């Protein structure tokens, strides 16, 4: 399997964001066409065909970098493939596009924890609690998941994070 550098894709996406355009718009691709590709990619993901899903999600984020759902799919595939550093980048873009969505922040915390970086995992969980809607079903669900993950991360990581924040202020 050829590994594609998500950071390189993200830099290209940054250029398109600065131009306020998408490759989809430049090439005349419709939302319906991309949604058909998404359906196929998600089907591959659900059936364990992760290499195929990865290629399609990479295609989707290249053509419509402003769709948080596509970044979430890419991050999920990368996480399953244990490509945690690229998954974190994908989840970061997803979170940037839809800050009140707690899913990418939770999954980024899982990736950081898998990489052994408890402080960054704590930071992702902190962001989830900061931006996640409080009085919604999804907010309550993901706050509960974050609380369980916080136990795995440990309070020491949150203390380190708090000390780093104190130094910055």
Binned at pLDDT 50, 70 and 90, residue 164 comes out as: confident
pLDDT in tens, 104-121: 999 999 999 999 999 999
For the chain, the first-to-last Cα distance in angstroms comes to 45
Over 70: is that where the pLDDT of 18 sits? no
Which domains are assigned to the chain? 1-98 (1.25.40.10), 100-169 (no CATH)
CA 103 to chain centre: 8
Rounded to 10 degrees, what is the CA torsion of 50, 52, 55, 57? -60
Label residue 15 by pLDDT band (50, 70, 90).
Answer: low
Whether 91 and 72 have beta carbons less than 8 Å apart is answered as yes
Say if residue 1's pLDDT is above 60: no
Report the alpha-carbon distance of residue 121 to residue 103 in Å, rounded. Answer: 14
- Of 59-63, 108-112, 121-125, the range with the lowest mean pLDDT is 59-63
């Amino acid at each position: 399997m050829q590994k594609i550098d998500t950071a390189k894709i993200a830099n290209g996406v940054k250029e398109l964001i600065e131009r306020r355009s998408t490759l989809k718009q430049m090439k005349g691709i419709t939302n319906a066409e991309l949604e058909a590709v998404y359906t196929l990619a998600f089907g591959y993901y659900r059936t364990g065909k992760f290499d195929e899903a990865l290629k399609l999600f990479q295609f989707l984020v290249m053509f419509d970098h402003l769709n948080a759902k596509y970044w979430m799919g890419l991050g999920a595939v990368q996480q399953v493939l244990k490509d945690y550093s690229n998954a974190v980048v994908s989840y970061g873009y997803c979170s940037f596009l839809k800050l009140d969505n707690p899913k990418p922040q939770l999954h980024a915390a899982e990736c950081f924890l898998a990489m052994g970086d408890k402080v960054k995992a704590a930071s992702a969980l902190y962001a989830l609690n900061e931006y996640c809607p409080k009085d919604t079903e999804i907010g309550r669900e993901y706050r509960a998941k974050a609380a369980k993950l916080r136990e795995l991360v440990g309070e020491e990581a949150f203390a380190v994070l708090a000390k780093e924040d104190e130094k910055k202020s």
